[in-house]
Structure 1
């Protein structure tokens, strides 16, 4: 990896365009240049080669892979190496060039649009007066079921942002002791954890940052640092650290950094240390908008503005995970006594369970602090998350309601897709219920709805835009047999007739011949489509292309130098194409 310093160094000899000097000769022993790393001084510009891993901390927010630092004058290069090497590691090399110092040091001035965005967010905080029931009513419009979770989250959200609003109005309140209602959501994949959190952030209009726990690493190791996700709030806040402090940070798959029996095995990195890195920022601390390397370089080069900080006092942290292994922990704790739990989304007890039902039960709503600790979360980590709620797996009826009741249902997305082609998509209840049933079998929750609908409708999306179809009704038969249903639709008289005309137009455009096809011939093609369950294009290709009729017409066109390019396709041409082409040839010879 190379850091390119574009400004000539005063001590550099630049007389020759081919001059190349070892940077080591320009440095003293105290500069700390690693012997295994080489550098060159080319044309008065210092190109310093260090490892990719050592330079990761030099990258600007957003982890851009291309960035350039312009030196404003001579600087102790060894300091750069000391800082880079101290961040640890060896890595693959790669170019490191690109934008100027504004990106690296955070010195760019905010645009008017960003200023306006920041102003609106602060106004949203000042205007926040929502009650828990009002928040839940909003969530109900988009999130189906999960009533208990929505109630818990609504209360936590209102508590937090009402307090934030009061502190904005009266800064003296900021000094009072305040325990944030950080949230932990447990529940199976596809049950709506991420969607629920995003919907809350959208409702509030506050900065939102999301990250997967698996992307974090111990401090000093390649990977995301816990503070980096807080810095992402600055980008989401239009560059305003003042606004960023009222944002929401969402960390998904937190169960993947567990180390106990309820956690998921990791590739050799310390999940316990990653949890520890979150402890300080989850409460009340100051996080610099630049990481340590950016701040160090900014100081050395004098670029950009002074480092700003983000207070995490009002940053709401929300964690989520499936915690699949924790079910067994809770089950062992509660024993076999009759206690309410959720099976396929319905509350029941342990009496009379079939083996398949017993496998699908969820005890997560009975989780206590000690269960999370046994699953591998550190006590200090769990202790900083006072609000915990479990959401259940979605049933087929839930998924049906998502399709039909949610304001931004995935069905609406597919309808919009067809609208783009001038086709109105409608759906029968039986069809949507069957989609929901198939989605349950996928075992990926609401995400499976997209998978099922895409699989069912992909052929229709490909074929129908090129037909005269203006309306498509999704039926249960289509869900069960999409390909067969598509063929039936394409073979139906209205679409088949339109396809015949489109085929004729295609021949005229590609073969430069004009064809006339009487109505009786067209009717016959349409009937054959229905009988053989084939599209009109397939029937016409078999009847006229594969029998050599089209190529024969092209030969006649060429032989007459384009004077004869209009042909009539009659019934005889379909029945005895070879004989009809011979007649055309004889007539042409007679004319010659």
Structure 2
């Protein structure tokens, strides 16, 4: 797990170890039986570290590796029940919606071959009509398989559901649940709208396969599997948890901040949340909270909430050596991304070692003198360095451009020295 995370995130081994252990413990729990399985609760994590050091990226990559439902939310978006704002239970509802979408994608892959055959029949009906002879259909089927008919325009009938928009009523937790149930009822009574659309055979391919897959999918099974996946594999990433701490030196607004913490307590400890698909238990959902804690301390959080986040991991601030590794090592590093982007314009971009060193040192220097925004500073600096190349790329087709220390200095040197200007531009 850690070696897989190393492909995308540089350093921060303590944080990687903590999330890897949490995930492995989940797998171990699944192997248990009886009462013990229900008693083993996830060890929630609190990540402490400045912005741009990889807190969110570690959690996001973790969920992809585990193929688990994952939702990232900013703690500041929520308010205490009774105030205008989002209710914390909406986190679990969002997580369940993500799990349902994931289960549908899985099921669609399983049913792809069957759905493809049914979609092919619908395309043939549109091309030659339902009453065409077997020989004609087979002849067109062969041409369809060879791609000869991809550009032919056909008219297909697609279903459009009568979905009413859902909305939230401020101060009423879960007030948006009923809206979709009403639209489901209306959809059944009024029937789904049937709409005729004209498109090419190639364009219709994906639409028809998805439509046929959805017909084969049993919605009740999908919901059951999604609820199970949410309850046992769900990961919630609570960002900016430090912004809802009630600090002793701050006045005003702390009632609502403390209220959000109190609302989060039962969610993290384990409660049952009402959703339009039925109740969802949060006992075994893994919560990863994170914050910079520059103005506040973890001890400023409610003692009860601190107890719900037993694993503390401190992430290190990044230095110029880390920046060099970030630019070169990850599978989709910034340098590889820019090379690929400009390669589409037939421009061969090359970064020399001294050029990479210069970019890393400048990023570190600006972070220390202006504001430390971590690895995000590299985006700002590289965009500035490649500004001219990106703008004139169409005229430079076939050229090879080397980004060395001289080139970087020419485009950025004076800007870094002028601290006042750096504040606004870098």
Q: Does 1:198 find its partner at 2:127?
A: no
For residue 308 of structure 1, report the CA deviation from its aligned partner.
1.0
Say yes or no: does 1:318 pair with 2:247: no
Which residue of structure 2 aligns with residue 97 of structure 1?
none
Indicate the SS of the match to 1:310. Answer: strand
Distance 1:242 1:142, change over 3 A: same
Which residue matches 2:423? none
- Matches of residues 101-180 of structure 1 in structure 2 within 5 Å? 135-163=1-29, 165-166=30-31, 170=33, 172-173=34-35, 176-180=38-42
Per-residue deviation at 1:174?
A: 6.7
Residue 90 of structure 2 aligns to a residue whose secondary structure is helix
Q: Distance in 1 between matches of 2:304 and 2:333?
A: 39
Is 1:385 aligned with 2:314? no
Secondary structure of the 1:214 match is helix
The answer to whether the 8 Å contact 1:237/1:244 transfers is yes
CA contact (8 A) 1:210 1:252 kept: yes
The structure with the largest helix share of the pair is 2
Show the counterpart of 1:397.
Answer: 321
1:119-145 per-position Cα deviation (integer Å, ceiling 9, x unaligned): xxxxxxxxxxxxxxxx11111111111
Paired position in structure 2 for 1:211: 73
Q: Would the alpha carbon gap of residues 201 and 469 (structure 1) be closer, same or farther in structure 2, given more than 3 Å must change? A: same
Which residue of 445, 470, 477 corresponds with 2:399? 470
Q: Specify the alignment match of 1:422 in structure 2.
A: 346
Q: Secondary structure at the match of 1:270?
A: helix
Identify the match of residue 458 of structure 1 among 372, 383, 387.
387
Alignment of 1:261-300 (within 5 A): 261=248, 267=253, 270-290=256-276
Tell me, what secondary structure is at the counterpart of 2:7?
helix
Q: 1:402 Cα deviation (Å)? A: 0.7
Moved more, 146-155 or 266-275: 266-275
Cα deviation, residue 411, structure 1: 1.5
CA distance in 2, matches of 1:427, 1:213: 39
Q: RMSD in angstroms over aligned alpha carbons?
A: 2.2
For residues 265 and 413 of structure 1, the distance between their equivalents in structure 2, rounded to whole angstroms, comes to 46
Q: Take 1:389 and 1:439, find their aligned partners in 2: how far apart are those partners?
A: 25
Deviations along 1:8-55, one digit per CA (max 9) or x if unpaired, are xxxxxxxxxxxxxxxxxxxxxxxxxxxxxxxxxxxxxxxxxxxxxxxx
Q: 2:47 aligns with which of 166, 177, 185?
A: 185
Distance 2:412 2:312 in 1: 46
Cα gap change, 1:241/1:266 in structure 2, threshold over 3 Å: closer, same or farther? farther
Structure 2 SS opposite 1:226:
coil
Question: Which structure has the larger Rg over C-alpha atoms?
Answer: 1
* C-alpha displacement of 1:312: 1.1
Q: What is the aligned partner in structure 2 of residue 23 from structure 1? A: none
Structure 1 residue 285: Cα displacement: 1.8
In the alignment, what sits opposite 2:246? Answer: 259
Q: Select 1:438's aligned residue among 335, 352, 362.
A: 362
TM (norm. structure 2) is 0.63
CA contact (8 A) 1:185 1:321 kept: yes
Please name the residue that 1:481 is paired with.
410
When residues 266 and 182 of structure 1 are mapped into structure 2, their CA distance, relative to the original with a 3 A threshold, is: farther
Q: Answer yes or no: is 1:372 the counterpart of 2:328.
A: no
Conservation of the 8 A alpha-carbon contact between 1:261 and 1:325: no
CA distance in 1, matches of 2:252, 2:410: 42
Give the secondary structure class of the aligned counterpart of 1:388. Answer: strand
Query: Structure 1 pair 378/459, CA: closer, same or farther in 2 (3 Å)?
Result: same
Question: 3-state SS of the aligned residue for 2:11?
Answer: coil
1:242 aligns with 2:228: yes
> Unaligned stretches of 5+ in structure 1?
1-134, 291-306, 327-370, 485-592
C-alpha displacement of 1:268: 6.0
Give matches, 1:349-360, under 5 Å. Answer: none
CA distance in 1, matches of 2:293, 2:373: 15
Tell me by how many angstroms 1:400 deviates.
0.6
Closer, same or farther in 2 for the Cα pair 1:266/1:289, shift >3 Å?
Answer: farther
CA positional deviation for 1:241: 2.3
Normalising by the residue count of structure 1, what TM-score does the alignment of the two structures yield? 0.46
Residue matched to 1:499 = none
